Structure 1
Amino acid sequence: MQDRPHDVMIAGGGFVGRTLALALAKLAPQGFRVALVDAEPPHNGIADARASALSAATKKLLSVLGLWNQLAAEAQPILAIEITDSPLNAGLRPHLLGFDNEMTEGEPGAYMIENSDLRRALATAVDEHPAIEIYAPESLSVFNSDAFRVVARLAGGDRIEAPLLVAADGKRSRLRERAGIKCVGWSYPQLGIVTTVAHSKPHEGRAVQHFLPAGPFAILPLKGNRSSIVWTEGKECGAAIMEKDEAGFLAELSTRFGHRFGEISLAGPRQSFPLDFQVARSFVADRLVLVGDAAHVVHPLAGQGLNIGMRDVAALAETIVEATRLGLDIGAPIQLERYQRWRRFDSAFSATIMDGLNRLFANDSAPLRALRDLGLGLVDRAPVFKRFLVREAAGATGNVPRLLRGESL
């Protein structure tokens, strides 16, 4: 058994947890030590069918941390977005709303990166940083706090202490439950399906969002003539589609994909997952702070889940680094409340918008479709509003943390 003091403990080694660990190790004053507790074994090699849409703000954060140079060659800029709203069997899917020039003013508003590439770059950077001590595979579920620190016991017997514990352990966070923090949330009657396809025609950086009666069907460009599919389907229908053989699955996929990019074939594994809405009633407790999915879970229709988590990283890193430089207690209520004020309303607002859009479009009502299409058409003719929407999705509006502006701390 070991008893080791650190400056911060992070429970959860996903994208958000590892990015926060790296940000603190690189940007906090010299001597700052991070304990990262990860339930997964190092370099587990699990196949991942997913890709992520990184906003321009997230790209700036990764640039400050020295990661973007490793990712740039594999990142596909999203140069245009097209949105349609039609029945599944529609022979024609008319263009209703598009973002073209608005996406490329200055720089693209978003980039697609395969999760395996992002995971590899983060793992290497975290493993190589001497200020980060990794405990993996390991779990942290028992912790107690006093006036000065949190003391946590790991399943393997090690004891870790630090002024602050960060819960980055996902939507079923055991640390959040242990702290007694309740959530507002529900499960959708939908299933998310992800895979990668190859197609015969180039996508030219164009993303397509088909709003179909069962839910949104997104075609997101990857490097080469490939696209990532993020497909929302009713639970029963989605489960039946996942059980089909490759030919049957591809037939269902082709019905929704259309002929825009020519012939398609599967170019990666397929995965499915339940869809939930969840926002924690508080993002902080006694010397505990929530980040990422432990704090909020949003519908994937706009691909903003990871970006919202990266906003948590940027805000919490700035709060911790500034307090450390002033010699303040980073786990004190005043510091945690600053983070909560910065992130809770923004997170809840984003989650609510995603939920509302899903409810608005995931139905087959002809009168409602007519109203939706009228609204989308009006937005398409409002360039100022379209530019605002792109800036919002790129993370360039509101009280933006310095890391998301591309500034070091």
Structure 2
Amino acid sequence: MKQYDVVIVGAGMAGSTLALALHRLCHGKLSIAVIEAHPVNSEQHPGFDARAIALSYGTANILKTLGLWDKFSAITTAITDIQVSDRGHLGFTDIDAKSQGVDALGYVVELADVGRLYQAELNNTELNNTELNHAAIDYFCPAQVKRIERSVEQVVIELNDGNHLQAKLLVAADGALSQSCKLLDIELNEVDFEQHAVIVNVSTQLPPNGKAFERFTSSGPLAFLPMSDQRSSVVWCLPPQQAEQILALDEQAFTQALQQQFGWRLGAITKVGVRASYPLLLRYRESVISHRFAVVGNAAQTLHPIAGQGFNLGIRDVMSLAESITQAFEQGQDIGAYTVLSQYRQSREQDRNQTMSLTSSLVNIFSNDWLSLRVGRNLALMAMGNLSCIKQPIVKRTMGLVER
């Protein structure tokens, strides 16, 4: 039986970041195992598919702290301006990096590129800008958790390939439908927003030049995120039946429908890539800890993409857990003890609740065409454009500048 300090299930962005964070913060003195069901280059890998995501300014700062940002900066596109509008109405506000005193409000990165980066980091012999090596991280892939047994002082994980791992702490970072959480009966709550996200990368006549757009329509929000080569990543939220109809359109009809909803801010849409769709739900677990067990990232909560908060909230989970474990390790404590995990839970409670509440409220306010809400949201957007006391708290959370 192989002995470890920490076993992490899931090598997506949350799990990989946690492994590298613990390795760096504890100076390579923790033994770590990472278990991943799918190879990073597999189309089945749910964490590194064809989507692009927005990393907040705060997430970039966390990755800088961990010595990872130099690698990320080569595959990101900066967001220097965010324009928020309500289609067909006067509501409009603009958030720009210069007014916030930063070079970028956030960064767009393609998940496939992130997958290759983390694969290289986990398999590499040298951590960027340090003398640490990755010898303390064992990577089991492809492998799945078959059974989990916990005792007072340890947790034993049986894999489907016959391997048995023993650890002081097991961490679930294996996505919204976490298998490890299922095996331990960690309850999952779901709220169906009755929307599907249609995702596609498009090329436009005008380059986005760092501009992101959040456009609210009567059927749901529509976001354009800037990418390289005059491309944008599109997330179009629609009722399920309408999403199905949109997906069935030929390329020309799809382009016309998207152009009509988005407008001409980037000129004509000249090319559309492969389209995909997935249902939008709020999934969350009331408790992110159990005996010698912690939950991070999408396994802890999966949010609606309306404000681009999900991945960034997950990275804050990761950093808070890494700091709690590091503090316990430096003080000679049991890193899997319930007191250590309770510190992590308490540190995440306010941020989790506020971010989930904000995201769900935005969906309810901006995903329908009721007259009262339409008037209210347009007044709110206009107020944001003119009153910094209203605008700044929302901007700070959008940038990921929140207390952990």
Q: TM-score range by the shorter chain?
A: over 0.9
1:110 pairs with one of 95, 106, 109: 106
1:97 pairs with one of 93, 116, 135: 93
* 1:336 corresponds to: 341
User: Which deviates the most, 284-293 or 170-179?
Assistant: 170-179
Residue segments in structure 1 that go unaligned for 5+ positions in a row: 401-409
* 1:209 corresponds to: 214
Classify 1:369/1:318 alpha carbon distance in 2 versus 1 (closer, same or farther; 3 Å): same
Q: Aligned partners of 1:252, 1:141: CA distance in 2, in Å?
A: 46
The count of aligned residue pairs is 392
* 1:405 corresponds to: none
The 3-state SS of whatever aligns with 1:369 is: helix
Deviation at 1:324, TM superposition (A): 1.0
* 1:56 corresponds to: 57
Matches within 5 A, 1:229-240: 229-240=234-245
Query: What RMSD over aligned residues (CA atoms) do the two structures have, in Å?
Result: 1.8
Is the 8 Å Cα contact of residues 57 and 105 (structure 2) preserved in structure 1?
A: yes
Matches within 5 A, 1:222-371: 222-371=227-376
User: Which deviates the most, 283-292 or 43-52?
Assistant: 43-52
* 2:115 corresponds to: 119
> Cα deviation per residue 1:281-316 (whole Å; 9 max; x = unaligned)?
111111110111111111100111100000011001
Q: Aligned partners of 2:276, 2:349: CA distance in 1, in Å?
A: 30
> Cα deviation per residue 1:146-182 (whole Å; 9 max; x = unaligned)?
1111001001100001000001111111222222222
Q: Aligned partners of 2:364, 2:170: CA distance in 1, in Å?
A: 36
Q: Give runs of ≥4 in structure 1 deviating > 4 Å.
A: 101-104
User: Which deviates the most, 94-103 or 16-25?
Assistant: 94-103
Residue segments in structure 2 that go unaligned for 5+ positions in a row: 125-133
1:219 pairs with one of 219, 224, 238: 224
The 3-state SS of whatever aligns with 1:7 is: strand
1:137 pairs with one of 142, 146, 170: 142
Matches within 5 A, 1:61-76: 61-76=62-77
Report percent identity of matched pairs.
33
Classify 1:101/1:321 alpha carbon distance in 2 versus 1 (closer, same or farther; 3 Å): closer
> Cα deviation per residue 1:181-236 (whole Å; 9 max; x = unaligned)?
22332222110111111111122211111111111000111123111101101101
* 2:33 corresponds to: 35
Is the 8 Å Cα contact of residues 38 and 139 (structure 1) preserved in structure 2?
A: yes
Is the 8 Å Cα contact of residues 211 and 361 (structure 1) preserved in structure 2?
A: yes
Q: State the one-letter code of the partner of 1:338.
A: Q
Is the 8 Å Cα contact of residues 7 and 169 (structure 2) preserved in structure 1?
A: yes
* 2:383 corresponds to: 378
Is the 8 Å Cα contact of residues 279 and 348 (structure 1) preserved in structure 2?
A: no
Classify 1:297/1:381 alpha carbon distance in 2 versus 1 (closer, same or farther; 3 Å): same
Is the 8 Å Cα contact of residues 251 and 272 (structure 2) preserved in structure 1?
A: no
User: Which deviates the most, 115-124 or 214-223?
Assistant: 115-124
Q: Aligned partners of 1:322, 1:43: CA distance in 2, in Å?
A: 35
Q: Aligned partners of 2:334, 2:146: CA distance in 1, in Å?
A: 23
* 1:25 corresponds to: 23
